[in-house]
Amino acid sequence: MKKWMAGTMAALLAVSMAGCGTAQAETMEPAAYPAGRTVQAEPVAATPETAQPKVLLDQGGVRITALGYDPDGMLGARVPLRVENESDRDVAVQAEWGALNGCMMDALCYMEADAGQTVEDSVLFISTEVQRAGADPAGQVTLQLNVLDQESCETLATTGLMTWDLTQGGGETAVPQGVTLSDEGDVVVTACAADDEVLGSELRLWVENRSDRTVTVRFDEVRLGWGLGGEDTIAELLPGTCSVNGVKLPGSAADAAGKTLHLKLSVMDSDSYEMLTEQTVDVKLA
């Protein structure tokens, strides 16, 4: 469900930004496009460390190239892509997984390329998610992109999981100190102090997947004391990654201190649907 919503958001975002013409970035070489229509989105001024294009997929007449990296895009960090479709099928490219510095995030990307068409657009990591994780947006990126048939939605090809350093040495996301809620099955869940938001506050629930399998973590019935609860949330994590989930709560961060956090926590193997742990947690926040 979360991946479907991310794809829908990416498609709506692409429509809303269509028609914004800009000049070609100076560091990019002129594109040698095949015959057919060309649609070009806003280009990216790549830094010296990220200016080299990287071919992510070249299969069945479809070629996907990462053109660079822009950590300071208008809506967040962006990985610009070029999709060259020399096949006889109309295809769409959608992000399956995305992470910055090992921290899972929604990678918003939906690009349609008809037969003989070349298009350019970007994978977008929303700035609020990058800031929430405290992830250095110029470190390391992980992506998996799928190529789909536009009509049947059949998966035609996939890049598989690809990780590459955007700067020398890459980067990592540091999980802050907090109250440990669960430490079972190599999946660690930590609650960190709530931060004040425009409406109420946001409690940060960090998950570290130290196992060798992909897991789905679900938080239900989240509430502080006897007050109103926050919304339920779900996180999917690849092996060796972390994620941070913001749970909206009424009241300020000061109101949350010293109160008892209640939630139901479940961890499931995303592939086999095996339930790894289910527990109810009641813990006082510092």
Q: What is the pLDDT of residues 80-100, one digit of tens each?
A: 999 999 999 999 999 999 998
Full-model pTM? 0.75
Tally the C-alpha atoms within 13 A of residue 263's C-alpha that lie toward its C-beta: 30
5 pLDDT band, cuts 50/70/90, is very low
Question: Beta strands 260-269 and 187-196: pairing type?
Answer: unpaired
Judged against a pLDDT cut of 50, whether residue 16 lies above it is answered with: no
Q: How far apart are CA 194 and CA 179, in angstroms?
A: 12
Q: Which domains does the chain have, with CATH numbers?
A: 2-165 (2.60.40.2550), 179-284 (2.60.40)
46 pLDDT band, cuts 50/70/90, is very low
pLDDT digits (tens, 9 = 90+) for 189-210: 998 876 766 666 778 889 999 9
Question: Beta strands 103-104 and 140-149: pairing type?
Answer: unpaired
CB 13 within 8 A of CB 108: yes
Strand partners, 186: none
| Cα dist from 271 to 145, 213, 233, 238, whole Å | 18, 8, 19, 11
228 pLDDT band, cuts 50/70/90, is low
**Once rounded to an integer, what is the mean pLDDT over residues 105-131?**
93
Indicate if the alpha-carbon torsion angle 22, 23, 27, 29 is positive or negative.
Answer: positive
Q: How far apart are CA 1 and CA 86, in angstroms?
A: 31
Instruction: State both tokens at 68.
Output: 């660079």
One DSSP character per residue, 159-179 reads ---EEEESSTT---PPPPP-E
| Cα dist from 132 to 3, 71, 124, 251, whole Å | 20, 15, 15, 19
* pLDDT for residue 167: 63
CB 160 within 8 A of CB 144: yes
CB 108 within 8 A of CB 75: no
Q: How far apart are CA 173 and CA 135, in angstroms?
A: 5
* pLDDT for residue 199: 66
Q: How far apart are CA 269 and CA 188, in angstroms?
A: 15
